[in-house]
Amino acid sequence: MSNEKATGFLTFNRQNLPERPPQERIKDWKEMYIPLPMAELQQQGQRCMDCGIPFCHTGETLNNMTSGCPLNNLIPEWNDLIYRGLWKEAYERLDKTNNFPEFTGRVCPAPCESACVLGINADPVTIKSIENAIIDRAFEEGWVQPFVPKKQTGNKVAVIGSGPAGLACADQLNKVGHKVTVFERAPRPGGLMTYGIPNMKIEKETVFRRIRLMEESGIEFLCNTNVGVDIEVETLQRDFDAVVLCGGATNANNLPLPGRDLGGIYFAVDYLSQTTESLIQSNLANNNYLSAKGKDVIVIGGGDTGTDCVGTAVRHGCRSVTQFEIVEQPASERPADNPWPEWPRILKLDYGQKEAKALYGEDPRQFSILTTEFVGDENGQLAAIKTVDVVWRDDPHGGHRFDKIPGSEREWPAQLVLLAIGFRGPENPLLDALNVERDARSNAKAEFDEYVTNIDGVFTAGDMRRGQSLVVWAIREGRGAAREVDRYLMGETDLP
């Protein structure tokens, strides 16, 4: 290695992907990031330190947060290859561990970067940007091709759900010659990559391009097919040698407060998915979606989904948008109980908040606030929300609880409320029909890295098994489930 490479992390600063200006991008539904020039990407690859222990690809869970890449991506290797201009070789390294780098390179929160050794006392390597650049170039150069197995095993596998876990599982099983059929109840495949994450983070053609490749590889997709309704589970078990449940954790958390039955209160996932389907069908011309235009919008929940609701409402042309978070406002720097390489619990302004701030002049988030009631008008429609501020305290048992602050009650005008407060597990009908056991959190019960349920020949992976999680974990679990299905069918497996 040259001295230039060895000192790259001292010579060059981190360069984040440039963003299109908020005032420009809120007028359309295109992706918001601008690719870095090739020379700058090579500089960023040069910042990778060749550290003795590359924590970036460990994929550990520390303090209930992901640290490092769950896919164990060979990050230092492809960083170095990019620095040396060996793009095709970098793609080949990336393809060894990640079926869909165009997904993770766009929407993953990059726990690899939070575990980067350089991040101990400097800005970490821009791993996510490099990953995305590698796969985008691979598609441009025609290096990404359908994989048609040379030999078929004669085994048939049904994968239920076409989100990242189901897609990864299907892709891996197809590579070793099993005939895979993916069942999806929505009109289009992709799961949350299609319906749960809006266009400004990943344009849907990026998802559909990958689906087409999988179809050309021999994988069959049956959409508008709700297993247990449109096709009996007994038929599935009879016609397939194995079944893999990858239906996600789609049972959204509710907020059963006074006034919850008023018109104008919706789950975030319904709001986002309707906008996406209308965009795909007609670029919103059919008006077949929940519109925020001209409304005071309140988003309850502060995660990625809440941010996506803020960005979507701004593009609809809302009158105002406010985002409620019951938690305390994070610190601007890592607190003492949140050391490297844990995911940093610090205050960040995500894309949706940036857009709302550019449009309305301030960060839309309100921290340490509790919703207490929905207020309606004479027509049964939402008119306002009542809240109270809270203060958080440590309790004697080592937990963290809040108390309401007397006199802090407020009322906020609102004609549209979006509930983005997470999910409480998978929906029950399919699991009930198959008699699959549940764990204490209502997820399909199966051990990590084994993925087999209590029913012979039935496996599960992704959010349906682990609960609501990251796209990168879904891909990891889908790959792992494919490995165990192959072992079950063949007695041994070469899948990683």
> Tens digits of per-residue pLDDT, 17-48?
999 999 999 999 999 999 999 999 999 999 99
For the chain, the average pLDDT equals 95
Tell me how far apart the alpha carbons of residues 451 and 439 are, in angstroms, rounded to a whole number: 13
pLDDT average, residue stretch 282-291: 97
Give the model's confidence band at 291: pLDDT under 50 very low, under 70 low, under 90 confident, else very high: very high
| Residue 160: pLDDT over 70 | yes
| Residue 493: pLDDT over 90 | yes
Of all residues in the chain, the percent with pLDDT exceeding 90 is 92
| pLDDT for 3 | 52
Please state whether the peptide bond connecting residue 344 to the residue before it is cis, i.e. omega within 30 degrees of 0. Answer: no
Give the model's confidence band at 338: pLDDT under 50 very low, under 70 low, under 90 confident, else very high: very high
**Burial per residue of 63-90, b for 16 or more beta-carbon CB atoms within 10 angstroms, e otherwise:** eeebbbbbbbbbbbbbbbbbbeeebeeb
pLDDT average, residue stretch 154-162: 98
pTM of the model: 0.95
Q: What is the pLDDT of residues 226-260, one digit of tens each?
A: 999 999 999 999 999 999 999 999 999 999 999 99
Structure tokens belonging to residue 296 = 């005071």
Residue 114 near residue 125, CB atoms below 8 Å: no
Instruction: Please name the residue ranges forming H helices in 142-263.
Output: 164-175, 192-195, 204-216, 233-239
| pLDDT for 1 | 41
Residue 250 near residue 426, CB atoms below 8 Å: yes
| pLDDT for 447 | 95
| pLDDT for 2 | 46
pLDDT average, residue stretch 303-331: 97
Structure tokens belonging to residue 280 = 């795909």
Q: What is the pLDDT of residues 439-469, one digit of tens each?
A: 999 999 999 999 999 999 999 999 999 999 9
| Domains of the chain with CATH codes | 3-141 (1.10.1060.10), 156-250+424-490 (3.50.50.60), 265-419 (3.50.50.60)
Structure tokens belonging to residue 242 = 């194995």
Q: What's phi and psi for 460, nearest 5 deg?
A: -150, 150
Q: What is the pLDDT of residues 356-399, one digit of tens each?
A: 999 999 999 999 999 999 999 999 999 999 999 999 998 888 78
Q: What is the pLDDT of residues 469-480, one digit of tens each?
A: 999 999 999 999
| pLDDT for 148 | 96
| Residue 428: pLDDT over 90 | no
pLDDT average, residue stretch 295-311: 97
Of all residues in the chain, the percent with pLDDT exceeding 70 is 99
Tell me how far apart the alpha carbons of residues 189 and 185 are, in angstroms, rounded to a whole number: 9
